[in-house]
């Protein structure tokens, strides 16, 4: 099959491309390199050294004997999007080209607006481009388990059967997101559901759990590494915990640490997306998949990180800090995830093994992390309307106009300061 990946230069886009190539699929990519730019804006960089995109393409050619067709551009420009879709007519589009950081969206009003505007604009553009130029294309849209929030009932896969005041219906499950970013994904879900209905499209809305890991089987060489973010804005809790342990900083769960979320290994996330692509829905079907492997509390992550770090001879300590987010610190959490297993999904990695692998990589790249140790600890307080003065930035946030113009400044080429183990 031919698969177009928007955001192919990103954390999960890149290993997805490698996996699909390994399975014999044809891969086309779009990116505007805005994540590289924005990570730099908050004073950070990828914990793993990654090449420029041309260097990545060259590595794929050299190591795997495959090529990736690439279009540099921004999904918020409709003529660009429809042109690529018309030219390529892919079997599937995996849409990963969205602003993906909840803390980034909470910095201030400009970041809130930019996140929601960019994300829904890109999704609307893809929907219209498919309708206009390639209506058989299956859209695989990246949402988040965070769309659902933490209701006191089980969380179904998108829809649920409801009895209310003596009548019955099957309805979309209510969304209660916890950041402007998470709400932007809720909005996307509404637009994808509606477009699928009125235009008879094929769509899969992936309620993605938090992804962890630095590797997939296809990453056989450092030149094929994917990015790894660990700063307060772009890193996940688990990434930050591991980097904190490596750098001798305290491991810092927010609040009481009873917050539970769904997680999945990078390799299994990529597997799941490949399964969704290879098993498309029918025309007119809007399919929602809860894509996570297991649920863990923040305390469980902190304690596992602590144990592995101790095994490795580090001297970790856990220090709870006030929760900057607005979220329940103890709650019921039982999301259903049955559709992917029914399509053939099987767990290939477990959290402990992957976390040990993450530590191996981080220790190899320790000097790279040391140079950015000041960006790990959180400063953005979600109850504040304006956090610009609090951010540990070396650079001011981008001007508001950045939302309308494609960001094209590449990240500096591969950093060579790390000493391979």
Which residue, 49 or 146, has its beta carbon nearer to a copy of itself?
A: 146
CB of 29: closest distance to a copy of itself in angstroms?
23
Catalytic residue among 11, 150, 185, 236: 185
Active site residue 37: no
| Residue of the chain from 89, 160, 281, 410 that contacts a copy of itself (CB under 8 A) | 160
| Residue of the chain from 24, 152, 420, 421 that contacts a copy of itself (CB under 8 A) | 152
Reference 351, options 398, 315, 290, 297; nearest CA is 297
Catalytic residue among 137, 144, 216, 233: 144
Catalytic residue among 71, 104, 148, 181: 181
Within 213-266, strands assigned E span: 260-265
Which residue, 93 or 362, has its beta carbon nearer to a copy of itself?
A: 93
Active site residue 185: yes
Is 406 an interacting residue with respect to a copy of itself (CB under 8 A)? no
CB of 338: closest distance to a copy of itself in angstroms?
13
In the range 28-87, which residues lie near a copy of itself by CB under 8 A? 78
In the range 374-403, which residues lie near a copy of itself by CB under 8 A? 382-383, 385-386
195, 200, 201, 202: CA torsion to nearest 10: 120
Which residue, 167 or 420, has its beta carbon nearer to a copy of itself?
A: 167
* Phi and psi, residue 21, nearest 5°: -60, -40
For residue 179, give the 3-state DSSP assignment: coil
Q: State the Cα–Cα distance between residues 228 and 236, nearest whole angstrom.
A: 10
Which residue, 147 or 244, has its beta carbon nearer to a copy of itself?
A: 147
CB of 203: closest distance to a copy of itself in angstroms?
15
For residue 41, give the 3-state DSSP assignment: helix
Number of residues interacting with a copy of itself: please give it, by CB under 8 A. 53
| Residue of the chain from 151, 250, 258, 281 that contacts a copy of itself (CB under 8 A) | 151
Reference 158, options 333, 286, 1, 300; nearest CA is 286
164 touches 209 (CB < 8 A): no
Tokens of 141: 């849209």
Q: State the Cα–Cα distance between residues 92 and 278, nearest whole angstrom.
A: 9
Is 3 an interacting residue with respect to a copy of itself (CB under 8 A)? no
Q: State the Cα–Cα distance between residues 138 and 420, nearest whole angstrom.
A: 41
In the range 166-185, which residues lie near a copy of itself by CB under 8 A? 167-169, 171-178, 180, 183
CB of 81: closest distance to a copy of itself in angstroms?
9
Q: Segment near a copy of itself (CB under 8 A), from 4-12, 153-161, 303-311, 408-416? A: 153-161
160 touches 173 (CB < 8 A): yes
| Residue of the chain from 116, 236, 272, 393 that contacts a copy of itself (CB under 8 A) | 116
| Residue of the chain from 120, 275, 298, 380 that contacts a copy of itself (CB under 8 A) | 120
Is 202 an interacting residue with respect to a copy of itself (CB under 8 A)? no
- Within 141-236, residue ranges assigned H as helices are 180-199
* Contact partners, residue 335, CB within 8 Å, separation at least 6: 145, 148, 154, 155, 262, 290, 292, 295
Active site residue 197: no
CB of 4: closest distance to a copy of itself in angstroms?
18
In the range 283-342, which residues lie near a copy of itself by CB under 8 A? 326, 332
Tokens of 187: 């909005």
| Residue of the chain from 131, 256, 306, 320 that contacts a copy of itself (CB under 8 A) | 131
Q: State the Cα–Cα distance between residues 139 and 192, nearest whole angstrom.
A: 9
Q: What is the DSSP string of 70-119?
A: EEE--TT-HHHHHHHHHHH--SEEEE--S---HHHHTS-HHHHHHHHHHH
CA distances from 56 to 24, 365, 387 (A): 19, 19, 35
| Residue of the chain from 28, 85, 145, 186 that contacts a copy of itself (CB under 8 A) | 186
| Residue of the chain from 61, 87, 198, 321 that contacts a copy of itself (CB under 8 A) | 198
| Residue of the chain from 54, 61, 86, 154 that contacts a copy of itself (CB under 8 A) | 154
CB-count exposure of residue 193 (10 Å: 0-12, 13-18, 19+): middle
Residues lying near a copy of itself in the complex (CB under 8 A) are found at 78, 108-110, 112-113, 116-117, 120-121, 124-125, 128, 131-132, 151-154, 156, 160, 162-165, 167-169, 171-178, 180, 183, 186-187, 190-191, 194, 197-199, 326, 332, 382-383, 385-386, 404
- Which residues are the active-site residues? 144, 181, 185
């Amino acid at each position: 099959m031919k698969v177009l990946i928007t955001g192919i230069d990103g954390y999960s886009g890149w290993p997805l491309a490698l996996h699909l190539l390994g399975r014999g699929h044809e891969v086309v990519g779009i990116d505007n390199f805005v994540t590289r730019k924005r990570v730099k804006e908050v004073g950070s960089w990828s914990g793993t050294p990654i090449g420029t995109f041309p260097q990545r393409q060259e590595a794929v050619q050299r190591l795997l004997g495959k090529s990736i067709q690439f279009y540099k551009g921004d999904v918020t420009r409709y003529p660009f999007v429809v042109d690529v879709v018309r030219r390529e007519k892919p079997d599937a589009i995996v849409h990963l080209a969205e602003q993906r950081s909840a803390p980034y969206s909470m910095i201030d009003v400009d970041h809130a607006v930019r996140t929601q505007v960019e994300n829904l604009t890109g999704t609307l553009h893809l929907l219209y481009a498919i309708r206009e130029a390639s209506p058989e294309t299956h859209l695989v849209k990246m949402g988040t388990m965070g769309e659902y929030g933490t209701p006191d009932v089980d969380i179904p896969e998108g829809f649920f059967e409801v009895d209310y005041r003596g009548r019955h219906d099957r309805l979309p499950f209510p969304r209660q997101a916890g950041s402007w970013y998470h709400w932007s994904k809720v909005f996307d879900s509404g637009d994808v559901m509606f477009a699928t209905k009125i235009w008879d499209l094929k769509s899969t809305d992936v309620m993605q759990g938090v992804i962890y890991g630095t590797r997939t089987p296809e990453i056989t060489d450092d030149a094929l590494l994917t990015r790894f973010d660990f700063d307060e804005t772009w890193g996940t809790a688990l990434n930050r915990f591991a980097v904190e342990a490596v750098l001798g900083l305290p491991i810092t769960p927010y609040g009481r640490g009873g917050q539970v979320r769904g997680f999945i290994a990078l390799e299994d996330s990529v597997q799941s997306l490949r399964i969704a692509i290879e098993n498309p829905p029918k025309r007119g079907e809007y399919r929602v998949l809860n894509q996570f492997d297991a649920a863990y509390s923040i305390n469980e992550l902190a304690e596992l990180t602590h144990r592995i770090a101790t095994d490795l001879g580090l001297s970790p300590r856990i220090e709870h800090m006030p929760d900057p987010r607005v979220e329940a610190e103890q709650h019921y959490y039982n999301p259903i995830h049955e559709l992917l297993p029914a399509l053939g999904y099987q767990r290939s990695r477990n959290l402990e093994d992957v976390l040990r692998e993450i530590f191996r990589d981080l220790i190899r790249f320790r000097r790279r992390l040391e140079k950015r140790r000041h960006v790990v600890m959180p400063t953005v307080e979600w109850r504040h309307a304006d956090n610009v003065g609090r951010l540990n930035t070396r650079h001011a946030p981008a001007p508001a106009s950045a939302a309308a113009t494609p960001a094209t400044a590449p990240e500096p080429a591969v950093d060579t300061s790390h000493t391979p183990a």
